[in-house]
């Protein structure tokens, strides 16, 4: 196997040749291919993650081009499905990895199939409801996942490793009601930075580095602020302690 294309990150001590080989044997599912998802897919495909599944139900629109780096005017004109366009573009960038597009909504009935066999799930969605579903499915199936969210010039991220770190319910409580935000304000650097934070955590998980970031991180680029928020596992967390999955299995008590 020729690893020349990855030579710069092989020189990086956190990865090395052994880490690179692990990346090439890794499989991830990316949920969402918008502002965050395009950067995540781009970084991980160029970095040589061996199998990448991209899930998104939406079509490319003109207003996406401000920040969704894998799409162009032609894609917006054709209203092409984001997941499919992303896979086509990335095949031209790295033909030695496996890429798969799933043009569908992520729902309780399909999420466990979508993430099956993945070493890691990346959240690049734009709503908390889907994130709570990802949290339940990943905790239930013991698959690590990385939360990312953006608004305006702000962004947040957290790494969830089931049975080791707090989960999304530990942070926000059980099914909190979040307002439907509709079309949100956004500068393009916010998703680019948060997605890059997520892909760095992803590389660490995939190469087996134990030094994951334990905090919820929050940054606001406009004033230039960065905070780490310490989160503890809730002793009575219904999701990661009691293992009740109310979104996935709504009928079950
Ligand atoms: Zn929890």
Query: Would you place residue 250 in the very low, low, confident or very high pLDDT band (cuts 50, 70, 90)?
Result: confident
**Is residue 77 classed exposed, middle or buried when 0-12, 13-18 and 19+ CB atoms within 10 A define those classes?**
exposed
Whole-number Å distance, alpha carbon 8 to ligand 1 midpoint, is 37
Whole-number Å distance, alpha carbon 21 to ligand 1 midpoint, is 32
pLDDT tens-digit profile of 198-224?
Answer: 999 999 999 999 999 989 999 999 999
Whole-number Å distance, alpha carbon 235 to ligand 1 midpoint, is 8
Domain chopping of the chain, boundaries: 4-229
Query: Would you place residue 253 in the very low, low, confident or very high pLDDT band (cuts 50, 70, 90)?
Result: low
Query: Would you place residue 69 in the very low, low, confident or very high pLDDT band (cuts 50, 70, 90)?
Result: very high
Q: What percent of the chain has pLDDT over 70?
A: 99
Whole-number Å distance, alpha carbon 81 to ligand 1 midpoint, is 34
Q: Is the dihedral of CA 34, 36, 37, 43 positive or negative?
A: positive
pLDDT score for 135: 98
**Mean pLDDT of the chain, nearest integer:** 96
Whole-number Å distance, alpha carbon 25 to ligand 1 midpoint, is 29
pLDDT score for 249: 87
Q: Is the pLDDT of residue 37 over 80?
A: yes
What superfamily would CATH give domain 4-229? Answer: NAD(P)-binding Rossmann-like Domain (3.40.50.720)
pLDDT score for 181: 73
Name residues with Cβ closer than 5 Å to ligand 1, which is an ion.
Answer: 167, 169-170, 237, 239-240
């Amino acid at each position: 196997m020729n690893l020349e294309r990855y030579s710069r990150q092989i020189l990086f001590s956190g990865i090395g040749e052994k880490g690179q080989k692990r990346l090439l044997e890794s499989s991830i599912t990316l949920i969402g291919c918008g502002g965050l998802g395009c950067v995540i897919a781009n970084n991980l495909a160029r970095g040589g993650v061996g199998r990448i599944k991209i899930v998104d139900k939406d079509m490319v629109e003109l207003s996406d081009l401000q920040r969704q780096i894998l799409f162009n005017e032609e894609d917006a004109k054709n209203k092409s499905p984001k997941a499919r366009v992303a896979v086509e573009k990335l095949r031209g960038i790295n033909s030695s990895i496996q890429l798969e597009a799933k043009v569908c909504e992520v729902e309780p009935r399909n999420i466990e199939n979508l993430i099956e066999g993945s070493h890691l799930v990346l959240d690049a969605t734009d709503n908390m409801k889907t994130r709570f579903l990802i949290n339940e499915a990943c905790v239930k199936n013991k698959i690590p996942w990385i939360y990312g969210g953006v608004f305006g010039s702000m962004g947040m991220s957290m790494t969830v490793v089931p049975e080791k770190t707090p989960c999304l319910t530990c942070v926000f409580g059980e099914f909190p009601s979040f307002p439907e935000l509709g079309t949100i304000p956004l500068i393009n650097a916010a998703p680019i930075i948060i997605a890059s934070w997520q892909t760095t955590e992803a590389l660490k998980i995939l190469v087996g580095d134990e030094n994951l970031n334990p905090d919820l991180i929050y940054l606001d680029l406009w004033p230039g602020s960065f905070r780490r928020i310490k989160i503890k596992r809730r002793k009575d967390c219904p999701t990661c302690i009691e293992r009740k999955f109310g979104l996935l299995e709504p009928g079950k008590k």
